[in-house]
């Protein structure tokens, strides 16, 4: 059986891939380090709190929250358990669907987010926003959406809310 030759990357494609690859490894680590040092949260926990804070009634179905936070339902469940133990989130049955569970941001959780947000936003600004001009930032947004769409063709961004 004859195999097709791989579509090797050109020099410019390889250089772009190397830069992108380094960024997607280093950026989450830098954001995580800042959040842990300043607030004791990791980036995923912060995304969970932020997602809930933006939701109507600070409440989301666990399945919707997992999509919004870019994590699996299993990972989200572990994180919500940890956040529940700290008093930041509570779980409730979904009123319209007894099989579904909602995550609800508590007042303590909202305050934790409010306290954590300034340092996180400054880190995002210094590492991603400030080094780019407005046109580059718009290009970055479009590029990210195209890559997300290639990974998940059914993805709508931002994810719809129920």
Q: Report the pLDDT averaged over residues 124-153.
A: 95
Asked if pLDDT for residue 161 goes beyond 70, the answer is: no
Q: What SS3 state is found at 60?
A: strand
Mean pLDDT, the chain, integer: 92
Confidence at residue 2, expressed as pLDDT on a 0 to 100 scale: 66
Q: What percent of the chain has pLDDT over 90?
A: 78
Q: What is the pLDDT of residues 48-94, one digit of tens each?
A: 999 999 999 999 999 989 888 888 889 999 999 999 999 999 999 98
Average pLDDT estimate for 25-32: 96
Any idea which residue has 């400054």 for tokens?
A: 122
Does residue 9 register a pLDDT over 70? Answer: yes
Query: Is 70 exceeded by the pLDDT of residue 162?
Result: no
Query: In order of start, what are the domains of the chain with their CATH numbers?
Result: 32-116 (1.10.10.10)
CA distance 79 to 92: 16
- Say if residue 82 is exposed, middle or buried (CB neighbours under 10 Å; 0-12, 13-18, 19+): middle
Question: What integer pLDDT is reported at residue 28 of this predicted model?
Answer: 94
Q: Which helix (H) or strand (E) holds 152?
A: none
Backbone torsions φ then ψ of 85, nearest 5 degrees: -60, -25
């Amino acid at each position: 059986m004859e195999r097709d030759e791989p579509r090797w990357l050109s020099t410019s494609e390889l250089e772009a891939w190397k830069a992108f690859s380094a960024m997607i490894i280093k950026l989450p680590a830098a954001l995580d380090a800042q959040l842990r040092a300043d607030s004791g949260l990791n980036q995923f926990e912060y995304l969970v709190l932020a997602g809930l804070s933006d939701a109507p009634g600070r409440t989301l179905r666990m399945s919707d929250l997992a999509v919004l936070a870019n994590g699996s339902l299993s990972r989200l469940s572990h994180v919500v358990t940890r956040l529940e133990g700290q008093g930041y989130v509570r779980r409730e049955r979904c009123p319209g669907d007894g099989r579904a569970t909602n995550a609800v941001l508590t007042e303590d959780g909202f305050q934790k987010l409010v306290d954590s947000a300034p340092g996180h936003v400054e880190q995002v600004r210094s590492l991603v926003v400030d080094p780019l001009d407005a046109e580059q930032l718009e290009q970055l947004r479009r590029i990210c959406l195209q890559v997300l769409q290639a990974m998940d063709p059914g993805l709508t961004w931002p994810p719809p809310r129920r």
